[in-house]
């Protein structure tokens, strides 16, 4: 048993320091549409006037006493609207032309395992939105920032420390430990850049009397454009580019208080592939007051997603006025379920939107 424990720890150390570098995979969220700037830089200030979000994810508590923990936050806002005069053969009129910039900032911090292997990233995003009509828009975004990687190698045990006569299976000799970690760079910082394209269509009338709302967003993005060096061992290993295709929609069912909310994400990075698809049902609990504004709207969402060959994700979201609280849980269905007993990851989201999602008019993108 001691030998097995030592070999397992040695193997994990080697994986963390070398093998995963060549096929490293970015963090990911099951509530992917609630973390816009880790999904697509083109979403900065694109689908609403102002948006702020915080996310927390913890994973693999059933497998290790040092679970993987991720926290993230983002803020994005649309620039001031512009108005132009349009002239035709019969009259002059004013039309909203909201083509302009959106910008945003985001960060995330991820810690994993006994070695506290961490990723800290902070980014700034800038997007330009071209309004093709009153109901459709195209946006191109760019993101730049810094990426820090760190690891605490003193918590690992190495092959050079193997000692079958010891009660733990290894020796704690500082000299042997220092020899094992002599070439390990425990922290490094790199620059990073990303880009993305988004198309959105919005025809919104979310009141019970109509509920013919139709919102569609599709996009594609590429992260790590310059493939920064990504090795704790000082080798020339680079972080692979991550290519993402994503989409989601809100489809109101006429003259009911129900809407269908499908979504998907496909992420490709090196040899890793993530295919994520599913949807939720939205139920209007309370209609927002048009006249007084004293009665605030409320929605409840519930549904599930499937991550290919990995997990089924149960998810729920409650929206009240400008605020939203989301929760999801990953039920592991991969080969790891033998030791995880199906328990994967818990994720919690807090979100603020201005204007509130209940205040959309049929003029779609207009505030």
Distance CA 337, CA 343 (A): 7
pLDDT for 68 equals 87
SS3 17: helix
Q: Coil, strand, or helix at residue 20? A: helix
The tokens for 194 are 């990303």
Tokens of 90: 């019969």
What Cα–Cα distance (Å) separates residue 124 from each residue in 69, 83, 142, 144, 146? 23, 27, 8, 6, 10
Could you tell me which residues are beta bridge partners of residue 1?
none
Cα–chain center distance at 322: 20
Average pLDDT of the chain is 81
- Predicted confidence at residue 212, as pLDDT, reads 79
pLDDT computed for residue 177 by the predictor: 57
How far is Cα 229 from Cα 238, in angstroms, rounded to an integer?
4
Q: Which two tokens stand for residue 204?
A: 């919104």
Look at residue 22 in the predicted model and tell me its pLDDT. 40
pLDDT at 95: 44
Output Rg (C-alpha) for the chain, integer angstroms: 24
Q: What is the residue-level pLDDT of the chain in tens, covering all 367 positions?
A: 444 444 444 444 444 444 344 445 688 899 999 999 999 999 999 878 899 999 999 987 777 777 889 999 999 999 865 443 334 444 443 444 567 899 999 999 998 877 788 999 999 999 999 988 878 899 999 999 999 999 887 777 666 777 777 777 777 666 555 655 666 778 899 999 999 999 999 886 555 556 778 899 999 999 999 999 888 877 788 999 999 999 999 999 988 889 999 999 999 999 999 999 999 999 999 877 655 555 678 999 999 999 999 999 999 999 998 999 999 999 999 887 777 778 889 999 999 998 777 654 434 555 4
Distances (CA, A) of 14 to 168, 179, 184: 20, 15, 11
Chain segment 279-302, per-residue pLDDT in tens? 999 999 987 765 555 567 899 999
Helix (H, G, I), strand (E, B) or coil at 228: coil
| Token pair recorded at residue 37 | 């700037």
Q: Which residues of 154-170 are buried (b: 16+ CB within 10 A; e: fewer)?
A: eebbbebbbeeeeeebb
In whole angstroms, how far apart are CA 271 and each of 11, 221, 224, 242?
A: 20, 18, 15, 10
Q: pTM score, two decimals?
A: 0.82
Q: Which of 193, 270, 267 is nearest to 239 (CA)?
A: 270
User: Alpha helices of the chain — where are they, by DSSP H?
Assistant: 2-14, 20-22, 36-39, 174-180, 337-340
> What does the alpha-carbon distance between residue 8 and residue 157 come to, in Å, rounded to a whole number?
10
The torsion of the CA quartet 220, 68, 120, 20, rounded to 10 degrees, works out to -70
- Residue 331 zone, left/alpha/beta (φ > 0; ψ -120 to 50; rest): beta
pLDDT of residue 43: 96
Number of H helices, E strands in the chain: 5, 16
Q: DSSP string of 284-353?
A: EEEPPPSSS--SPPEEEEEEEEEETTTEEEEEEEEEETTEEEEEEEEEE-STTHHHHTTEEEEEEEEEEE
**Spatial CB neighbours of 56, under 8 Å, sequence gap ≥ 6:** 69, 70, 71, 72, 347, 348
104-127: pLDDT as tens digits: 999 999 988 777 889 999 999 999
CATH of domain 2-359: 2.40.160.40
User: What's the pLDDT at 81?
Assistant: 54
Burial of 174 (0-12, 13-18, 19+ CB in 10 A): exposed
Q: Which residues contact 242 (CB under 8 A, 6 or more apart)?
A: 26, 222, 223, 224, 267, 268, 269
Every domain of the chain and the residues it spans: 2-359
Q: What is the pLDDT of residue 116?
A: 83
């Amino acid at each position: 048993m001691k030998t097995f424990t030592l070999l397992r720890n040695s193997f994990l150390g080697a994986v963390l320091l070398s093998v995963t570098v060549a096929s490293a995979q970015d963090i990911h969220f099951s509530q992917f549409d609630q973390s816009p700037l880790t999904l697509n830089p083109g979403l900065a200030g694109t689908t609403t006037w102002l948006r702020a979000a915080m996310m927390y994810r913890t994973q693999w508590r059933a497998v290790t006493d040092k679970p993987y923990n991720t926290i993230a936050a983002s803020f994005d806002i649309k620039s001031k609207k512009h108005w132009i005069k349009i002239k035709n053969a019969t009259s002059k009129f004013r039309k909203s032309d909201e083509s302009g910039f959106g910008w945003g900032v985001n960060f995330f911090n991820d810690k994993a395992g006994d070695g506290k292997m961490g990723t800290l990233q902070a980014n700034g995003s800038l997007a330009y939105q071209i309004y093709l009509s009153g109901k459709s828009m195209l946006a191109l975004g760019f993101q730049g920032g810094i990426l820090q990687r760190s690891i605490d190698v003193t918590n690992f045990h190495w092959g050079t420390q193997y000692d079958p006569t010891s009660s733990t299976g290894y020796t704690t000799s500082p000299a042997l430990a220092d020899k094992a970690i002599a070439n390990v760079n425990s922290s490094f910082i790199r620059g990073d850049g990303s880009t993305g394209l988004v198309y959105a269509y919005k025809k919104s009338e979310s009141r019970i009397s109509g509920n013919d709302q139709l919102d569609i967003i599709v996009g594609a993005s590429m992260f790590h454009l310059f493939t920064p060096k990504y090795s704790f061992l000082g080798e020339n290993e680079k972080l692979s580019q991550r290519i993402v295709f994503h989409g989601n929609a809100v489809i109101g069912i006429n003259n009911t208080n129900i809407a269908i909310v499908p979504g998907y994400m496909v992420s490709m990075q090196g040899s890793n592939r993530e295919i994520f698809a599913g949807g939720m049902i939205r139920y209007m609990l309370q209609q927002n007051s048009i006249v007084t504004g004293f009665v605030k709207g409320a929605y409840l969402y519930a549904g599930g997603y499937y991550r290919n060959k990995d997990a089924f994700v149960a998810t729920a979201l409650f929206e009240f006025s400008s605020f939203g609280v989301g929760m999801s849980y990953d039920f592991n269905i991969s080969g790891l379920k033998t030791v995880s007993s199906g328990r994967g990851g818990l994720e919690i989201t807090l979100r603020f939107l201005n204007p509130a999602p209940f205040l959309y008019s049929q003029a779609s993108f207009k505030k």
